[in-house]
Amino acid sequence: MEFNHDVEKCLETLHSGGVILYPTDTVWGIGCDATNNEAVKKIYEIKNRPGSKSMIVLLADERDLLQYVAAADLAIFDYLDNVQKPTTVIYDGAIGLAESLVNEDGSIAIRIVKEDFCRHLIKRFRKPIVSTSANLSGEPTAPSFAAISPAVVSKMDYVVKYRQNDITPTVPSSVVRWNNGEITVIRP
């Protein structure tokens, strides 16, 4: 695969508690091991982001959700099968994740990715990865790698080369909250 070298370097970085800049199924993201509290804190510092503002966690497979959400309502997968845009779901009852990722109410935002690079990386890592837009808190989300601030890029432990030249504009995922079969749209 054309991204094997990047995956290997990302795995080294993630296992050592480092931070990566990588393409996701939506925008370029800053990521780390979602179970490593110190790594998560690094991202908050890099982004100059308040700890009260949560970040998204990426998983590769639906079954992985059962490891990180207590009593997940599997009916959400029927909903997700019928949406076109990548969709992040806020679930109640987060478990097994870095405490600084979990909201005060115990919820966590999770997206199951379909993009090849992300799926491959997460499957090889065998843990969830944080994904937050590659910008400083309060600044606009970069629509491509070229638009990411050099100040952000310089703070990464590893920057993925795969898809850096892709200038197709990207947009963040939709965000919904799932509660007993009811959907509340947070970000369309």
Which two tokens mark 166? 């892709």
What pLDDT was estimated at residue 159? 98
What pLDDT was estimated at residue 176? 97
What pLDDT was estimated at residue 179? 83
Q: Could you give the residue ranges of the DSSP H alpha helices within 82-177? A: 116-125, 150-153
Report the 10 Å Cβ neighbour count for 182. Answer: 8
What's the chain's average pLDDT? 94
What pLDDT was estimated at residue 1? 62
Contact 30, 10 (CB under 8 A): no
Instruction: Tell me the Cα Rg of the chain.
Output: 15
In this predicted model, what pLDDT tens digit does every residue of 14-62 receive, in sequence order? 999 999 999 999 999 999 999 999 999 999 999 998 888 889 999 999 9
The listed range with the strongest mean pLDDT (4-18, 138-152, 164-178) is 4-18
